A and B are shown apart, each in its own frame.
Chain A
Amino acid sequence: MLWNTILLALRAIRRNMLRSFLTVLGIVIGVTAVITMVTIGRGATVQVQQQIASMGSNMLMLSPGKRLGPGQSSGSAPFKESDADAIAKEISSVTAVAPVSSQSLMAIFGNQNWTTQVTGTNNQYLKVTNRSLKAGREFSDSELRSGAAVCIIGETVRKKLFGGQGGLGGKIRLQKLSCDVIGLLEAKGQSTMGMDQDDIVLIPLSTFQRRISGNQDVGMIQLSVRQGASTEKAQGDIRTLMRERRHLSASEDDNFNVMDMKEIAKMLTGTTQLLTALLSAVAAVSLLVGGIGIMNIMLVSVTERTREIGVRLAIGALEYDVLMQFLVEAVVLSSLGGLIGIALATAGSFFAARLMQVPYIFIPGINVLAFLFSAAIGIIFGFFPAKRAAMLDPIDALRHE
């Protein structure tokens, strides 16, 4: 009997194709929007996690200034190279320490130029940031000590200056500094914050200090903690050490900041998830609006078909039969809308993921949920019109023009 009712409902829907389509449009859009949001959100979260894993989740970042948030710092005393040395010496769980100073500069080769991030550091930087060379060599000790004019360049810089291939052994100019390219970095792609990690030129820290910044300051210290060792403990140890070295009394706040990549990871995935949830909630509102649309059309349909209902009641339909007919019609409508929405969302989120360069992840749960939810909308918003139809007095209904 239920199957018959569903067939009857499909027939009624087919009889009025355009109107049925417009009726479910709200549900279609709602389901599409919710699924797309959740899918893209999941993709973005996974991407953030992958990128952080590739950066090394055991990385700590030490920057001067009070804690304000990533990338922000208020003016307080910068670090010196000796701070990095002290950390390497004192904190046993630290495997690599890289003092880092950087500045945005124009790199010139022949008639090509490209503005990039010039970073003064040491060989430990590669270890800390989980990077490797695809060609050439690292800095030698004497180069690091003497501040030699050598550099290791990222893939983006290499492409911009040298084109398709080559670069190793070339001589590029950074301001007045002319330096030899001794190494090429393996490409790494975009960072979590959307920065191109291959848009970089590494030079020895001493070279940077003498020839570019002109002082002994170190912008920040990046370091990695031994795998398995507690980053929290290392963080605490470093904090104690730095407070001591910066002569802070017990009453003073830190004038530096130790950040754990895990924290950053948590913060970033948290942000992505919150954003996804918010956008999905907005999309879910359109589902509700879609449900009201269905109720509206079902009410119109009941009024229009009053005579039909009268005939049905006269020839032996029970209230229950009429109720079921309209309820099933609403549910079939909204479920069809849900199915169309799922199909559109699958295609839509696949292409959106491509466009936004996040991985496409099919989430079965959200699709099932969206389908059940759209069916539930049909039941909820179809019940009132169906009840109204079922309660009609057959005599009045038959007289209805």
Chain B
Amino acid sequence: MNTGQRLIEFKEVTKAYGKGTASMQALRGVDLSIDEGEFVAIMGPSGSGKSTCMNILGCLDTPTSGLYSFKGVDVGKLDRRQRALLRRYYQGFVFQGFNLLTRTSAIENVELPLIYRRAPAHQRREDAFKALETVGLKGWESHTPGELSGGQQQRVAIARAIVTKPAVLLADEPTGNLDTARSREIMQLLNTLNSTDGITIIMITHEPDMAAYAKRVIHFRDGLVETDKQNGRAD
């Protein structure tokens, strides 16, 4: 379901940490473009620069040099506040460690990004219920993370990420803490979200099994894109 609209564009993006001789070059000039509706898996060994790339994609970090444009906007020119607003209105995050608020019910966790969007209370409730239903957690709304399994917690986290109907869902090793069966469920869910709801998904993973669900796989090595292939999988 690639609509062809350019969503993300990296041009010669570099990222260096530290200064002088101690400086570490995490990205060494990455060119990359992702269109709306894509499902991209980013793979690579640790230290290959994939996490740095993800942080920049998520506007949590800015490139040292090069251009990152999101929906045609040069993110490098945005300040901390504008980047936060960009995250608020266009991006959804899923983390390896779920990162739900403890002792807070699933529905309240899902409502959180809507609260920051200043959505009215009834609208929040309604959207949060729908999002939980989408991830298959209807009936679990009032359970706290402690009462949910790892897979269910990650579903809540995905619901929290998609409740705002973001332009892109960024998932950092979403299955890293789950067993194979749960991981497959999560991947199927992401797949459905991508193919049915048309949400663009960019996901980091270590496991080729999981990457196989994506339509496109990008390999990083030593701060550069090593391979960038469309999966031979038919939709």
Contact residues of A with B, CB < 8 Å?
A: 1, 4, 8, 11, 15, 307-308, 310-319, 321, 394-395, 398
Contact = CB atoms under 8 A, between A and B. Distances in A.
B103 A15 contact: yes
Interface residues of B, number: 31
A4 B115 contact: yes
Most buried by B among A307, A314, A321, A394: A314
B97 to A, nearest CB: 8
Contacts of A307: 97, 99
A314 B58 contact: yes
A118 to B, nearest CB: 75
20 contacts: A4-B115, A308-B99, A311-B93, A311-B101, A315-B87, A315-B92, A315-B93, A315-B112, A315-B116, A316-B117, A316-B164, A317-B84, A317-B116, A318-B85, A318-B88, A319-B80, A321-B116, A395-B61, A398-B95, A398-B99
B99 A311 contact: yes
Given A1-B118, A311-B95, A398-B95, A316 B113 contact: yes
Contacts of B164: 316
Interface in B70-106: 80-81, 84-85, 87-89, 92-93, 95, 97, 99, 101-104
Interface in B106-144: 108, 112-113, 115-118, 121
Given A315-B87, A316-B84, A318-B81, 13 more contacts: A1-B118, A11-B108, A15-B102, A15-B104, A307-B99, A311-B93, A312-B112, A312-B116, A315-B113, A316-B85, A318-B116, A394-B60, A398-B95
A386 to B, nearest CB: 16
Nearest to A394: B60
Contacts of B216: none
Contacts of A310: 99
A316 B88 contact: yes
A315 B94 CA distance: 10
B60 A314 contact: yes
Contacts of B65: none
B212 to A, nearest CB: 27
A86 to B, nearest CB: 87
Contacts of A313: 84
A311 B61 CA distance: 15
Contacts of B69: none
Most buried by A among B55, B101, B112: B101
Nearest to B80: A319
B155 interface: no
B50 interface: no
A303 B113 CA distance: 22
Contact of B116 (A11, A316, A395, A398): A316
B12 to A, nearest CB: 22
Contacts of B112: 312, 315
B22 to A, nearest CB: 18
A4 B81 CA distance: 21
Contacts of B101: 308, 311
B61 to A, nearest CB: 6
A42 B131 CA distance: 60
A358 to B, nearest CB: 47
Contacts of B88: 315-318
B49 to A, nearest CB: 14
A315 B55 contact: no
Nearest to A316: B88
Contacts of A308: 99, 101
